[in-house]
Amino acid sequence: MTAALLPAAPDLMAAYTDWLQRLSAERRMSPKTVEAYGRDVRIFLGFLKDHLGAPVGLAEFAGLAPRDVRAFMAARRAEGLSSRSLMRALASARSFARHLARTGRGEASALSAVRSPKIARSLPKPIAPAPAKLMLDADTRAGEDREQWALARDAAVLALLYGCGLRISEALSLTRAEAPVSGVDRIEVTGKGGKRRQLPVIKAVRKAVEDYLALCPLHLPPNGPLFVGVKGGPLSPRIVQAAVARMRGSLGLSETATPHALRHSFATHLLGRGGDLRTIQELLGHASLSTTQIYTEVDGARLMAIHSEFHPRAQAGR
């Protein structure tokens, strides 16, 4: 990239490159997360270049005032950025500033002096047990113009999401050698931050994977992906998302019924059946219990809705 296109002075861009490398190597962030952080900071540096009239270097970055940060936030708001996206952009810039401080390149205190935007806390939207189970049945999509093995493959992926609480990236990262078949009752996956966790696999999930493997016409080498596309390459998450989107109409589900909603359903239904929060935290791979506690609110909201609809005194008050 030529100097004219750089959003900041060479010394700050060198620190930026070093920061991205550390995010990937030391903090083990996924490539997509590193890319998002890097994009946020490049946009911030580009704004500062226009806002201050020249590319900023280490000294200028450390000398930023809170009003400069607020001007950036106001500009991004004017572009239609949501509170959640704006909060992430500010978090990315703060991460970069902390890296500068840790490596002795200056203290950009203005970033910590500005409050993050408030965002409304939204509850996860689980899918009810009955339609969730139907989503895992390849016969639910029997009328589609798709090969039977592909329908069985999608059903097996969704079974792992709902039966084990996996993220879609975790399910699609499994190799053929890691497939829970032939009596294997647990799998090990790598979650966020490179954290490994073991998960039990119930019989219904094992059967879904076995059905897929029995029908799959492609050769699956042990170290290759368990779930593949029609040409044998790794299965794209978009294929699974499209499969779920097609089922929403036939099952009468809302737009919130996504592959990730099955993970929410796994946690909510476990909690509703008496599962304890600590165990659910471990199964989901949450670093903090507070992240898992949101499912207590989901279950509480469900109970209140049931009470309001069916309790005689509630009905009498309508």
User: pLDDT of 182-240, one tens digit each?
Assistant: 888 889 998 887 788 888 999 999 999 999 999 999 999 999 999 999 999 999 999 99
CB 141 within 8 A of CB 93: no
Q: What is the pLDDT of residue 297?
A: 65
Question: How far is residue 171 from each of residues 129, 240, 259, 297, measured CA to CA in Å?
Answer: 20, 11, 11, 27
Which are the contacts of 138, defined by CB distance < 8 A and separation ≥ 6?
148, 151, 152, 154, 155, 211
143-147, 203-207, 297-301, 304-308: which has the minimum mean pLDDT?
304-308
The helix, strand and coil proportions of the chain, stated in percent and rounded to the nearest 5, come to 60, 5, 35
Annotation marks residue 264 as catalytic: no
Question: How far is residue 114 from each of residues 45, 48, 65, 66, 190, measured CA to CA in Å?
Answer: 17, 16, 10, 6, 35
Give domain 3-113's CATH architecture: Orthogonal Bundle (1.10)
Burial (CB count within 10 angstroms: exposed 0-12, middle 13-18, buried 19+), residue 260: middle
Give the global pTM. Answer: 0.62
Which are the contacts of 274, defined by CB distance < 8 A and separation ≥ 6?
none
Q: What is the pLDDT of residue 184?
A: 86
Annotation marks residue 192 as catalytic: yes
Which residue from 64, 62, 85, 63 is spatially nearest to 73, judged by alpha carbons? 85
DSSP structure class, residue 3:
G
Annotation marks residue 295 as catalytic: yes
Q: Is the Cα dihedral 162, 164, 169, 174 positive or negative?
A: negative
Say how far apart CA 261 and CA 263 lie, in whole Å: 5
Mean pLDDT along residues 6-19: 91
Bridge partners for 316 per DSSP: none
Q: Which two tokens stand for residue 174?
A: 């499994």
Mean pLDDT along residues 67-93: 91
Annotation marks residue 286 as catalytic: yes
Which strand (E) or helix (H) includes residue 200? strand 196-200
Question: How far is residue 120 from each of residues 82, 84, 117, 123, measured CA to CA in Å?
Answer: 11, 9, 10, 10
Say how far apart CA 261 and CA 127 lie, in whole Å: 7
Same fold, 3-113 and 129-258: no
Say how far apart CA 273 and CA 183 lie, in whole Å: 26
Kindly compute the dihedral angle of the four CA atoms of residues 278, 299, 164, 121, in this order, to the nearest 10 degrees: -80
38-53 pLDDT, tens per residue?
999 999 999 999 999 9
Hey, where are the domains in the chain?
A: 3-113, 129-258
Q: Is 50 exceeded by the pLDDT of residue 169? A: yes
Which strand (E) or helix (H) includes residue 189? strand 186-190
Q: Is 90 exceeded by the pLDDT of residue 81? A: no
Q: Which two tokens stand for residue 311?
A: 């309790």
Q: Which two tokens stand for residue 22?
A: 């550390």
The active-site residue, picked from 105, 167, 176, 206, is 167
Annotation marks residue 167 as catalytic: yes
CATH of 129-258, one of 1.10.443.10, 1.20.5.510, 3.90.1150.10, 1.10.10.10: 1.10.443.10
The active-site residue, picked from 28, 133, 192, 302, is 192
Which amino acid, one-letter code, is at 239? I
Q: Which two tokens stand for residue 226?
A: 């368990």
Which residue from 215, 234, 228, 223 is spatially nearest to 177, judged by alpha carbons? 223
The active-site residue, picked from 16, 37, 162, 295, is 295
Q: Which two tokens stand for residue 182?
A: 């032939």
The active-site residue, picked from 76, 176, 263, 269, is 263
